[in-house]
Structures are given as C-alpha cells and as structure tokens.
Structure 1
C-alpha cells in the first residue's frame, strides 16, 4: 500500500491553562474550548483526511503576548515530531527586541522559530504596524531571516498594505485571510483589500479561521466559497496554505467538518494546486524541512 500524501497544518495552537492563563477564553461562547489542549489532542482530533492526505506536520502559533510561552512552544517543537515550526512572540516595540530574538534563537530549540506574530487585531491604533518602534522591531525580524504573521481584521487592511509596501523583503503571511466578514454586506470591502494586498509578491495567505468568522452554528460550504474563490484568484494556489486554527475551530464544527469543507473547495483544483495549498506553500514559507532529526516519522 502506498504512503498517504502529506498534509501540513500551517496554523494551530496549544495551551495549558494550569501553566499559562488564556484570558481571551473568558469571552462568552468560548466555553467549548475553555480547557487545556495539547499536540496529542490535535492528533486525536485530526481523523479526517483532506483530499486523501493525513496530517504529517504542523506550525504552532503563539496565543498570548509572552516570551516564556514562545520558549515553551520551541521546546515542544524540539520534542514532538509533528511540529516543524513555531510562530512566536516578542515585544516589537522594545529597544532590545533584537537581543530577545537572538536569545530565543540561541536556545537548543531555537531553530524552530520561523516567524513572529502580534495580535494586531486587538490594537486600537489604526497605524500600529507603522509605529517607529514597531518598524524597528520588524527590521530586527527581517534581519534574522524570520517571517511575520499578520493578524488583522477587515478594517485594518490599510496598515497591512503599508507594511507590505515598506518592507518588501520581509516574508509576510496573512493569518485567517484577514478575518473576512463571511455572509455580511462588508465582504466586498474585504475582497478589494485582499486583492490589493495580494499584489505584493512577498505576501502569502492562510486558508484558516474562516468558519469562526461565519455563523458558528449555521454556516455552510456555500458561505465559505466566495471567500475561497477570492483567495484563489488573488493569491493563486502557490501562495495559499491550509490551516485548521485548531482548537479554535471547535467552536464552529471542528477539524472534521473544516477538513471536509476544504476538500470540497479544492475539488476543481489540479493535483499540483492541491499539493501547493496542502503542503508546499507552508513547507517553503516556514522551512519545515529544517532541524528535524533524521529518521523521525510523521505522526500518523
């Protein structure tokens, strides 16, 4: 029997509430995920393949503004063969952010740090990414050959576009497709903004987090398809990467339902296009082939 084709999940989270609180989980409606989640929980959840592919590698992404959390994620990646890269956090506004990044990268597990992220969606300053201190921090990220995950909401696209213009050499990936207002009248505004951002060749996009931007209990594939069609046209498959946003996706159906939806969306795509979205784009962007020990097997 032939080996299953590989599947990379470019965006998932883990957290241990006994070790590190997650204040955002206190929001109403988050009760189903108000507990600890581990990489083994993801293994158990990811039972449904996508286009015949089963999960073989992941990128774990920070949740809170905490360097110690990033250290924990790096050490987890060093221990767990499923995790190939970490998107961590450091205070971009701090004058010594470069030293912090160097310290993180000098750890035995530091090679797994491939990108930084800040929860810009929670910042009220409409030019947060253009603050001089933030731009100084982003230059430190770029100088260390790291990438940057852009987490914004629909109204924050202007600062993401200015970021792409001012940092053409910094690899960027748009998390959760910029949180499109699925099924709402504002979707055409998101469509125009995504197309404009995609004009910058250093930008990639995660096909993730879409179902939690829809009606959690009533969304259908038809609701997601206009977003997918826009992303495929704007970025092309070679600049799109699949992500589960697990366990947040549990709020709107979980891994199996999202996996089935992605498979349906990809149905008209060629094998090459499916390979790009489900494996190659994330593997290249996050350099997933690096640092894993020789002989390590995929999780499942």
Structure 2
C-alpha cells in the first residue's frame, strides 16, 4: 500500500495557474483520471492533493474542485493541502473557514519562488503560529539555501506540524550535497518537522539518472529524520520531468530494498495515515 501525499491536478478550464506559462512541459491539463490509471497499477491507495500555486483568487475554488472529485465512486482522494497566504491580513479569517472543512488537512505557501525574507515577516510568522493546536500541517517547499529559514519557522512555532517537501529540493544534477546535507541534519533536530521523500527524480539529469544517483539524498533524509518522520509523495505531474510516477515508485522500492517491512510501511503509508488522520 502507498499513500501519495503530493499529487497536483491541473485543470486550466476551471482554474488559473500563472506560473505554467514558464514551464511548457507542464502547461497542459493533468487530470485525476489520468493519474489514477497509473497510480492503481503501482499500489497507490490513498492520495492527498497538494495545492498547485493557482491564482490567489482561485485558492478556495481549487479546494472545492478537488473535494468534488473526491466524491466520485472509487476516488482515492482523501484530503487536500490547501494554498494560503500567511503574509496577508485576512489569513486568520481564511483559516477559520478552512477549519470547518475536514477535507482540508493542511496548508502550503510556495516559498522557493518568492523573496527569501517573506517568511521572516512578523505577520507571516504570527499567522503560521495560528496553526498550532488546529491539527493542520504546513508544508515547506524551499531551496537548500532557504532551509535555515524553514528551520527558524519551526523554532518559532513549535506546536505546528511542518512537512519539508522533496527532501529539501537538493541540486541532484549538480551533485550538490553541501550545504544541503548540513541544513537537513539541522532542521531534522526539530521534532515538529517531518520530511517528504518526493519528487526528487525531477532534480536529476533526465534520461541518465539511476536509483544510485538518488540514494545519497534519499538515504540522508531518512537517516536525519528517522523512519517515524518521513512520508512519501509522487509530486505528479512534476515527476514526469524525470521519468514519471511508475519510474519513481520503482526507484523508491530499489532504494528501500535493504530496509525492513516495517520501515517501508512507515514511509509508504503508516506515517502519513497517522500525521493526517487518514484512517
């Protein structure tokens, strides 16, 4: 069994995605039905949808769209990690609306495409603290040089559950293990941070990477956080830039070949089920 904690769906007929114009390979619709065919084949049973940085005016429409898909017979969709804007004054009102919806499991604000100091603003930090005690997580997507800023957020909001996406987005193409490796070890010391082993195939050289290319990054992430604080995600369709969902699942199994059944189960589904109360 696999719980995919990081699925993106793209529907340009309903929602606006300003950033897609700069990524031609992803600038098309990626539907749940397209994903589900492949996901069923590789053992995915439950899925969390990850916000896709839609136009801010479409944030709540995106959540509603995915929730509608979850009501279809046989849907694997179990919840959403919704988009948010903690740097804005109306975040508190937005949070209260989302708290009434059990389909919303957490939030994410994309940080690697905004100024580095966005997360250092007083309003941003105060709003992140509002998540404490709500049971709602906050996903962190940052570049390696921004990991210390993510660490600072975790220190400022110790009662908030953070999830660091994509093994901290290492520069695999450039063999960039430092200072990524040191930053990962440091943020892993925060008990309120989990790591998501997801999407790293998109950071490797297309057509030439192997499981061994990914191993130093995946193994260091798991080693730093431990088997109880790691979850798995596909990052579909971004993972298609590095081979696709089936290829990433196969690579994951290759990387886990030396681990125990219990360890694999924790990474692939048990930790996610507990963290987001998916049972």
User: Normalised by the shorter chain, which TM-score bucket?
Assistant: over 0.9
Structure 2: distance between partners of 1:137 and 1:75: 28
1:95 correspondence with 2:94: no
Q: Which runs of 4+ in 1 moved over 6 A?
A: none
Unaligned runs of 5+ in 1: 1-5, 290-300
SS in 1 for 2:78: strand
**Within 1, Cα distance between the matches of 2:89 and 2:133?**
15
* SS of residue in 2 equivalent to 1:85: strand
- The aligned counterpart of 1:134 is 124
Aligned counterpart in structure 2 of residue 58 of structure 1, from 44, 47, 50 = 47
Q: Deviations over 1:39-89 (max 9, x none)?
A: 22111122543xxxx111011010124232233233333446311121001
Q: Which runs of 5+ in 2 are unaligned?
A: none
1:113 equivalenced with 2:84 (yes/no): no
Counterpart of 1:27 (choices 4, 22, 26) is 22
Matched residue, 2:35: 42
Say whether the 8 Å CA contact 1:11–1:243 is kept in structure 2. Answer: yes
Q: Deviations over 1:244-288 (max 9, x none)?
A: 111111111001111110000010010100110011111111111
**2:195 pairs with 1:205:** yes
Question: In the alignment, which residue of structure 2 is the partner of 1:123?
Answer: 114
From 60, 69, 77, give the equivalent of 2:70.
Answer: 77
Instruction: Report how far residue 116 of structure 1 moved.
Output: 0.6
3-state DSSP class of the match of 1:15?
coil
SS of the aligned residue for 2:132 comes to helix
Q: In the aligned structure 1, how far is the partner of 2:206 from the partner of 2:170? A: 14
Match of 1:292 in 2: none
* Structure 1 residues 10-43: Cα deviation after superposition (integer angstroms, max 9, x where no partner): 1111121111132322225x32x32212222111
Whether 1:191 and 2:181 are equivalent positions in the alignment is: yes
TM-score, structure 1 length as denominator? 0.86
Alignment partner for residue 12 of structure 1, among 7, 25, 31? 7
Separation in 2, partners of 1:129, 1:74: 29
Provide the C-alpha distance between the structure 1 equivalents of 2:96 and 2:71, rounded to a whole number of angstroms.
Answer: 18
- The 3-state SS of whatever aligns with 1:251 is helix
Q: Is the 8 A contact 1:74 1:113 kept in 2?
A: no
CA contact (8 A) 1:37 1:247 kept: yes
TM-superposed deviation, 1:240 = 1.0
Contact persistence 2:167–2:218 (CA under 8 A): no
Residue 119 (structure 1) shift:
0.7
- Whether the aligned pair in 2 keeps the contact of 1:78 and 1:112 (CA below 8 Å) is no
Q: 1:168 pairs with 115, 136, 158, which one?
A: 158
State the distance in 1 between where 2:3 and 2:106 align: 16
Alignment root-mean-square deviation, CA: 1.7
TM-score by length of 2: 0.92
Question: Could you tell me which residue of structure 2 aligns to residue 295 of structure 1?
Answer: none
Structure having greater relative contact order (Cα 8 Å, sep ≥ 6): 1
248, 251, 258: which one aligns with 2:241:
251
Tell me if structure 2 keeps the 8 A contact 1:181–1:213. yes
